[in-house]
Amino acid sequence: MSELKVFHLPGRWDLKSVSPFCLKLDAFLRIADIPHHSITASTPFGGPKNKAPWVEIEGEIMGDSSLIIERLKKVYQVNPDDHLSSEERGIAVAIERLVEENLYWVMVYDRWCRTENWATLKDSVLGDIPQPLRAMLAPYARRSVKKQLAGHGMGLHSHAEICAIAQRDISALSDFLAAKSYFFGDRPSLTDATVYSVLANIYAVPFTSPMKTMLEQAQNLLPFITRFKAEYYGDDTAQ
């Protein structure tokens, strides 16, 4: 089998990637112990859907973290969800949607729309793009993200409404995790990779976000981030 190549946006602040979708795929690869070559891309534009992550698998380029994971499960005959009941598998899809189709957009709003985060964003998320291209590309990228936020609907809400939406999602995650180590018990599943990737990208990075306080108040979510990171990233400080 040819080497699996995985392309992801840059890592910063002790996280493998500033992109939750890239980090989710990386975490999945670690849970499933799939050998691969990890390659950092400065923009998502090399991917087949102009989004990161993407992979080269069996000579084919493909995008979208969830579609990639489904393919990897088949090719490598692995399934970190094989201990889940059918009811839990249903809940897992619902959590994935909550995180990726809703909470993720609050994170995007906080990073790209808050004036106080703009300087950090330009030099971190876009930081691997060499100058002067970065300076030229940054305002274009920001306009494009604001359009996406409006298209999604998140960008049309008031600040207070966005906070209330985030609070509901974070409380739901916290309530479901409760006193468990991982979302479905003692053994991690794809859900843990998904939730870790977005929560770590909210909390571990130097962007202003009201969600940081919400995570602190939830009590069980920060220990979850720490637990997952220790298990799969250990002393890997470059990650």
Ligand X SMILES: N[C@@H](CCC(=O)N[C@@H](CS)C(=O)NCC(=O)O)C(=O)O
Helix (H, G, I), strand (E, B) or coil at 208: coil
Span of 45-53, 111-119, 170-178, 185-193 interacting with ligand X by CB under 6 A: 45-53
Q: Report the residue from 40, 66, 174, 239 that binds ligand X according to the rule CB under 6 A.
A: 66
- Nearer residue to ligand X within complex by CB, 65 or 189: 65
- Nearer residue to ligand X within complex by CB, 50 or 213: 50
Contact between 192 and ligand X by CB under 6 A: the answer reads no
**How many degrees, rounded to 5, is the angle at CA 103 between CA 136 and CA 128?**
30
Buried residues in 174-212 as b, exposed as e (16+ CB within 10 A): bebbeeebbbbeeebbbbbbbbbbbbbbbbebebebebb
38 contacts 8 by C-beta, under 8 angstroms = yes
- Nearer residue to ligand X within complex by CB, 78 or 145: 145
Q: Report the residue from 10, 11, 44, 80 that binds ligand X according to the rule CB under 6 A.
A: 44
Tally the residues of the chain: 239
**How many degrees, rounded to 5, is the angle at CA 239 between CA 29 and CA 7?**
55
Contact between 209 and ligand X by CB under 6 A: the answer reads no
Q: Report the residue from 6, 10, 19, 29 that binds ligand X according to the rule CB under 6 A.
A: 19
Query: Cα separation of 19 and 158, whole Å?
Result: 25
Q: Report the residue from 51, 71, 146, 152 that binds ligand X according to the rule CB under 6 A.
A: 51
- Nearer residue to ligand X within complex by CB, 41 or 177: 41
Q: Report the residue from 7, 21, 196, 228 that binds ligand X according to the rule CB under 6 A.
A: 21
Helix (H, G, I), strand (E, B) or coil at 136: helix
Residues that bind ligand X (CB under 6 A): 19-21, 44, 50-53, 64-66, 144
